[in-house]
Amino acid sequence: MLDIEFIRNNPDVIRANNAKRGVEVDVNRLLELDVKRRELITLVEEKQALQNQTSDLIATETDSDKRANLIDSMKSLKAEIQGIHEQLEPIKTEWLSLQRQMPNLADESVPEGESEVDNVVVKTWGEKPEFDFEIKDHVQLMTALDMVDFERGTKVHGFRGYFLKNDGARLNWALWNFARDFYSKHGFQEFLAPAIVREQYFYATGHLPTEADDLYQTQDGDYLSGTAEVPMMAYYSDEILDLETLPFKALAFSPCYRREAGSHSKDTKGLIRVHEFNKLEQLIICENSQEASVALHEEINSLFEAFIEQLGLPYQRLNICFGDLSKSKVKQFDVEAWVPSQRQYRELSSASYFHDFQTRRFNIRYRTADGEIKFAHSLNNTAIATPRILVSLVENFQQTDGSIAIPEVLVPYFGKSHIS
């Protein structure tokens, strides 16, 4: 959520940003409501001050007639205040609704564009493997090596169901443990985060209302989270942090759930697009500084790139354009790993920063060195998502005989150098 004072002072900047994002929000209406809202709030405060004065007079007045008149005056003031509140409530509701629809102000380095086809490749790394045999996709490889069972997964879960088993499960655990050791060296505190989270926090992160069709809801009205970003942002909600505790860097593990709504015909086989998975998420709360946000954004993205470089996976980094950038984000990098059977790169992570867009909704603040209270900034990025990363890993490291070589860095965690 943007600072309303910034919107008041920079309406043309807001309109230009909305236009580049392809988002239609009535800025004029928001500002009109803001004027009315402030006028009514001021009027309420004036009436309440008068009410307090009258209350003091009643307490000290000894003349019964004058006291009765003051009491009548109090009743009239109470009715007036109630009437103003009745005018104010629908104005506040519409004002807040429009403010929540307002997208974040994108960074000037975000490329212009209308959709994902306009995202810009800013980095490539690694040599795509050349095979002198007919390659297999990850479904064929992992099924043949008894690493996964899709048939029984579908029987138990339904569409997009799967069981990881034997070396498939062990490889998954090896990746988690390697990731824990890798990221913990960079100052991240480790968390096991809840997956069932209150509805209000999905609105606060921006996942609701836009992703309502993609979320699983419980009977109690809570939701199953598709990322540890949601519970970890809620961790410090309604709190004032000490400057010395920033940046707060969390490495949070959680089960994740997504309906994959709107993608019924996409990636129907295999492990790229599944309903339930596990993820380690990097999340940072930092001071209210553009320089800090930019530096930390580069850091968390570079950490993920260093992580998959150690695994030896070829990848590319995308700078996400206006049209593909979520409303809550200032800037986003996606890292995509090479999938040989598809002859294309597929997304493994999204590194994003938000300024104070999320923290205003969560009411996460900190006290500066001079005692000022400010809203913090927030950032997040994938540390590792499984089983999706297995797709690229097993396909890039497949061997002529159908076995899979294990990246050297994973051997101590996995216990052997090949799956055969």
Task: List the catalytic residues.
Answer: 258, 273, 347, 350, 388
Task: Give the C-alpha separation, 55 to 312, whole Å.
Answer: 75
For 177, 189, 214, 252, the CA distances from 184, given in Å and listed in that order, are: 11, 7, 31, 11
Q: Are strands 344-355 and 365-367 parallel, antiparallel or unpaired?
A: unpaired
Q: Which residues of 253-279 are buried (b: 16+ CB within 10 A; e: fewer)?
A: bbbbbbbbeeeeeebeebbbbbbbbbb
Contact criterion met (CB below 8 Å) for 317 and 126: no
Tokens of 226: 């598709």
Contact criterion met (CB below 8 Å) for 162 and 274: yes
Q: Which residues of 144-170 are buried (b: 16+ CB within 10 A; e: fewer)?
A: ebebbbbeebeeeeeebbbbbeebbeb
Task: Give the C-alpha separation, 360 to 375, whole Å.
Answer: 6
Tokens of 94: 């519409």
Strand spans (E) along 99-164: 120-125, 148-149, 163-164
Contact criterion met (CB below 8 Å) for 277 and 178: no
Residue whose token pair is 């992580």:
307
How is 269-283 classified by DSSP, letter by letter? SSSSS-SEEEEEEEE
Q: Which residues have CB under 8 Å from 216's CB, separation 6+?
A: 223, 224, 257, 259
Q: Are strands 163-164 and 148-149 parallel, antiparallel or unpaired?
A: antiparallel
Phi/psi for 332 (5° steps) reads -145, 135
Phi/psi for 56 (5° steps) reads -65, -40
DSSP code at position 397: T
Task: Give the C-alpha separation, 45 to 77, whole Å.
Answer: 12
Can you say whether residue 363 is alpha, beta or left, with left for phi > 0 and alpha for psi between -120 and 50 degrees? left
